[in-house]
Structure 1
Amino acid sequence: MLHKNIIKLAALLWCVLTVASCTNEDFDKGNNGPDVPEGLPVTLKLNIGTPEVPVVETKSLDNGTTFGAINDLAVLVYDEKGGNPIVTFHDVQEENQTSVNGVTFDAKTGKHKIYVLANVGSEDAAKVYTTEQALLSSQIESQNPNGTEMMLGFVAKDMETSINLYNSGDNEVIDITGDASFEAKVVPPYSKITFKITKNLPSDQHVYLAITEVNVRHLPVKYSLLPYEKWTMENGVSGESIISLYENKSAKPEDEVGELATGKDFYMYENLQGENNTSNGDPSLKTPVGLEVPTKGDGKIDYTEWFEKWSSVPCTYIEVKGNYTIFTSEPGVNHVGDGEINYRFFLGENSTSDFNIKRNTHYNVTLAFTGLAGKNELQYEWRVQADLENSTFYPKGELMIDGSKEDFPFWIVNTNIDKLSITTSGDKTSDMKLVYWDSYGGRQSTTSFNEYVSLPAKGDYQKYAVVSNNLGVIGATDGVGQNAYIHEDTKKVYNSEEDNVNLRNDIVAGKIYKSRTFQMNSADVDQLVVKEYPLLCLNNETDIININSKAVYAQRIDRPAGMIDGNAARKYNGEQGQGAFYSYLPTPEDLALLVRIETGIFQPEDGTSYWTTEGPYYWNGTSVEKATGISHAYVRCVYKSYKYANTIKY
């Protein structure tokens, strides 16, 4: 009996020693290896990265970049049924990493589903996801992306499998048998969008578009760890969440669109709203599914009802606001209009049918205005709300001139009255001339404003102009009131020519000017404020009366000379002067001095060509260089005494 018990004890001890001597290598399942017991603890390795960002092109080309940051991570190892997670948490040492290699995590042998969660915050936060279902269905409230959102990855044997599993949303079971290395891609829940506005308007016609506001509307304020279809206005999309991309700070409505000409980036959470293929490839008919464009009894679009519907559609759209002015003619057609526009269009994978904004994707969108700047769209297209029936001055609000002896034109649009009255504030006389044209005497001008000036106003638009009555140099005349140059901040009046040198910094900064306000009788709200800036003294001489003066003054504002050659440009110097002073094309030395001193609001741009006595030259940032192959160049004349015009040296 004792002998049999000893035999049984020896057999049991042998079994225990055999199991205890096993290594992780023995757990590998091979043709000749034993089955591995489930539930034995192991430590595994994981390499994590973010995927490359696809670039979706809609109307322009731009290269996307990878985005997404990993600041901490948690590996969640669920059992085969998606429960009982083992959680391993790690802080990432360096901030905003896009890949982390060699991360260890705890697991047990057997069949499991494994996930990695980036930017979860803490081990306790990761342990909240007690089941696979809780993890995959998670929705997170957040107003807009900040770059450190939680990102989910499916752990697999390689990166390609990981991203394929993520895209399908269905993880595969991994049989852990021992030491192994895995990989995973974590995916940002947001997209990057680059929005541009370009304008290529005809230079020979009067078409102007000034962008004043650009807003992105109907943005998701939730994100999910997996792609989610679909957010609704009640769950996920907010009509109050708006990204402002642009605010027009320019006083000149003919300016280009500033920062948006080169592109403005913003990020937004994924918003998948499907497709509608009923547009037949026409971008102007791109409409979300189930949203019918309402029409009136005459078949025309009911814009009031239509734009009310936009508030209930969860598709993300961009709204561009601006001022539009057109006064031009084609054979048999007269295009006239001025007013505000609201241009709205939906985002998506294309411009005709798709309303899906996918996560981890860089979209490039360009809104291009060409020709008549969408005149037909402004009148007929459902996306555009326009009020072009105003009677107004153009340019709108403000006209900047300098003290040279040349007309600065402006227009009054949509005037069909026989006579137009213009009143002016302040003094009854001014050294600014108001210029107009009539069918009897041609070009007319006046400086007298007793009560108002009655002007011809035939047709849908009429051209007028303002010109300095006296050469605009500080101290050239004893100016008071409307005739005086005044400092914008101190309100001090300047009457001495010596101030032209002493105040040069304030002059180039646009702090000193004289102004006059013109008011139309047909629209009380419309005013045109004319600001006249003094000519800029380029050297330390200031006298403009003495024929022996070596003073040099320059125009402040570019004149478009059009397609002219150098000889024609030299004829630009009309004999318009005061005292001994006349206007001339600048020498290259004059131009170099001008752009070196003019650092304020009228500074010539680098690379812009200007006509000189030696042909076109441009400023390269440090000096002027001769331009070649140029048919278009600007003109800024200089004023010099006739005696020293060709002999002044600097």
Structure 2
Amino acid sequence: MRLTNHLAKIVLGALVLALSSCSDDRFADNADACMVLPGDRAATIEVPLRLHADAPSVIGKPLVNDIVSRADGDAGTPADPEQAAEEAIKNIWVFQFDSIGNQLIAPRYYEVASTEIRKLNIRLAEGEDSYVYVLANTCDPDWAKGKDLSTVEKFVGYEYPFTEDNVEMGKDEYLLMEGNVKETIRKETDLLPIDIHLTRMMAKISFKYVTADAAKGLKVTRVIINNMPEKMRMEETPIEENYPKGDFAVRSVSIDKNLASDEIYTFYMPANRRGETTNTDAALKNNEAPDKALYVQLFVSSETNGSNFLYTIYLGANDTNDFNVRRNHNYNIKLNINSESRDDRVLAAPANCYVLAFNDSIMFDPYNRTEKGGGWVYSDYVKKGDPDKEFTKVEVLWQEVNVIGDNSKGDRVYLDRYNRVHVRSRSTAGNAVIAGYNAKGDIVWSWHVWVNNEMPAKLSKAVPYN
């Protein structure tokens, strides 16, 4: 995937599109004059149309201070091609429904030949209180063919597929936009243009991390975006409801290049609204994150002691309790890594073996293992929700003397209420094995713990051998 190092700017002004009156690509082939097409329930007339690309809502401060964001009020012309691409309207599909929501004319596709401020014409049918919907930037004159969009309900409820290829805006790619208006279409020579305001069908995430001098030993090796929905609804659902509903499909997307400190990465995704919690402490936001809420994980390696960690950031309107990622919103996310100290947002990276220093502690998610090396799949053995594969407790299976110490109170090795495993070492070098048990008392999985204050995992401690 190609990485973007810019904040794209969103235009505030209207884009007024010039379309030829009879140059629309017809939904069905027809050599007759462009008055009636198969699927039309009425003759069409020439109507002027004007489209506006509405500004998104902006969450968080801009990530760079020397570039003015269009979303923050600059109405100038973007010099960056990617910014221009994000604002562009290259083609549109036009749909018209009658007053009770049934299709009035066949869908029509128009290529946008100009952005000059002048009257443009499309073809609509006369009708009282008809609904006109516009879908922009499918870049496909055959897109509506074979789809049942015969009512307003079916149109707005259509879920557009979203793949990994859509995460970043590549060359000659444009953002999908949608908008509508309820309008009475009349045949008048001095008819004013019909104004339709378009909003982007996905959210935009701009992300970076900044490492302070006290944390220079931490290096980000990989970034994964988790719980991205695989579909996006044509139109926004009511904002007070969670969306998507039910057991919806999600995907994880890896950034295939190491991000340097202060470098910006921008990606796009469908809405994923999971609601709010009552938490007020930013350090504890992750603890009660709703299922399938969107989050970004940074795989971080410590050059200080060789340990590997996962920094987890849940997105939303704030850093305490909001887990709503909405369409036509720009989210500016900045992670400040000020030291190597850890809180509840930092987990040990998934592993079978952990190396701890003296009097050290780790916390890890026992269900998070994505590798499939050797042909085995971790979820075949460990799986949340399966009574035989789900952990109900973790204990010390065996240890060398005083490596972990007395765990009779369950305060040195334990499973917390968020299903995370905690391990605390003592000041004795040696080995231990901790085991996770299901409700029947069977061991589901185990982990090796090596306590050693010589930092053997640190690369500079490696000893070459033949």
TM-score (ref. length: structure 2): 0.55
Q: Does 1:527 align with 2:449?
A: no
Map 1:364-403 to 2 at 5 A.
364-370=332-338, 372-373=339-340, 375-377=341-343, 381=344, 383-385=346-348, 389=356
1:73 to 85, 92, 102: 92
Residue in structure 2 matched with residue 125 of structure 1 by the alignment: 144
**1:511-565 CA distances to partner (integer Å, 9 max, x unpaired)?**
xxxxxxxxx7x99996257xxxxxxxxxxxxxxxxxxxxxxxxxxxxxxxxxxxx
Alpha carbons 1:61, 1:364 under 8 Å: kept: no
Residue in structure 1 matched with residue 156 of structure 2 by the alignment: 136
2:134 to 93, 107, 116: 116
Matched position secondary structure for 1:284: helix
Q: Does 1:56 align with 2:65?
A: no
CA distance in 2, matches of 1:286, 1:389: 26
CA 1:98–1:219: 2 relative to 1, 3 Å? farther
Paired letter, 2:130: H
Alpha carbons 2:210, 2:334 under 8 Å: kept: yes
Map 1:305-320 to 2 at 5 A.
313-320=291-298
2:213 to 192, 201, 214: 201
- Identity rate of aligned residues, in percent? 19
CA distance in 2, matches of 1:208, 1:524: 12
CA distance in 2, matches of 1:376, 1:214: 18
Matched position secondary structure for 1:267: strand
Alpha carbons 2:299, 2:308 under 8 Å: kept: yes
1:210 to 199, 219, 224: 219
State the 1:51 CA deviation.
Answer: 1.7
**1:144-169 CA distances to partner (integer Å, 9 max, x unpaired)?**
425446432113xxxxxxxxxxxxxx
Aligned length: 303
CA distance in 2, matches of 1:219, 1:382: 20
CA distance in 2, matches of 1:267, 1:99: 29
Residue in structure 1 matched with residue 283 of structure 2 by the alignment: 284
Alpha carbons 2:303, 2:458 under 8 Å: kept: no
Residue in structure 2 matched with residue 305 of structure 1 by the alignment: none
State the 1:88 CA deviation.
Answer: 5.8
Map 1:406-421 to 2 at 5 A.
none
Alpha carbons 2:212, 2:337 under 8 Å: kept: yes
Structure having greater relative contact order (Cα 8 Å, sep ≥ 6): 2
Alpha carbons 2:223, 2:298 under 8 Å: kept: yes
TM-score (ref. length: structure 1): 0.41
CA 1:149–1:130: 2 relative to 1, 3 Å? farther
2:231 to 200, 215, 222: 222
Q: Does 1:348 align with 2:324?
A: no
Residue in structure 2 matched with residue 324 of structure 1 by the alignment: 302
Between structures 1 and 2, the one with greater helix share: 1
Q: Any gaps of 5 or more consecutive residues in structure 1?
A: 1-38, 156-171, 249-256, 292-312, 327-336, 392-413, 419-458, 463-519, 530-650
Q: Any gaps of 5 or more consecutive residues in structure 2?
A: 1-41, 71-82, 359-424, 430-451
CA distance in 2, matches of 1:135, 1:141: 14
**1:619-639 CA distances to partner (integer Å, 9 max, x unpaired)?**
xxxxxxxxxxxxxxxxxxxxx
CA distance in 2, matches of 1:99, 1:220: 37
CA 1:218–1:151: 2 relative to 1, 3 Å? same
Q: Does 1:154 align with 2:180?
A: yes
State the 1:131 CA deviation.
Answer: 1.2
CA distance in 1, matches of 2:287, 2:95: 39
State the 1:207 CA deviation.
Answer: 6.5
Matched position secondary structure for 2:307: strand
Q: Does 1:273 align with 2:240?
A: no
Paired letter, 1:185: H
Map 1:237-248 to 2 at 5 A.
237-238=249-250, 241-245=251-255, 247-248=257-258
Alpha carbons 1:49, 1:99 under 8 Å: kept: no
Q: Does 1:106 align with 2:127?
A: no
Paired letter, 1:279: N
CA 1:174–1:274: 2 relative to 1, 3 Å? farther
CA 1:122–1:324: 2 relative to 1, 3 Å? same
CA distance in 2, matches of 1:60, 1:289: 27
CA 1:79–1:105: 2 relative to 1, 3 Å? same
State the 1:112 CA deviation.
Answer: 1.4
The list of structure 1 runs, each at least 4 consecutive aligned residues, that deviate by more than 6 angstroms after superposition, is 97-100, 522-525
Q: Does 1:174 align with 2:152?
A: no
CA 1:183–1:199: 2 relative to 1, 3 Å? same
Aligned residues: CA RMSD = 4.0
Residue in structure 1 matched with residue 247 of structure 2 by the alignment: 234
CA distance in 1, matches of 2:217, 2:316: 29
CA distance in 2, matches of 1:198, 1:524: 24
State the 1:347 CA deviation.
Answer: 0.9
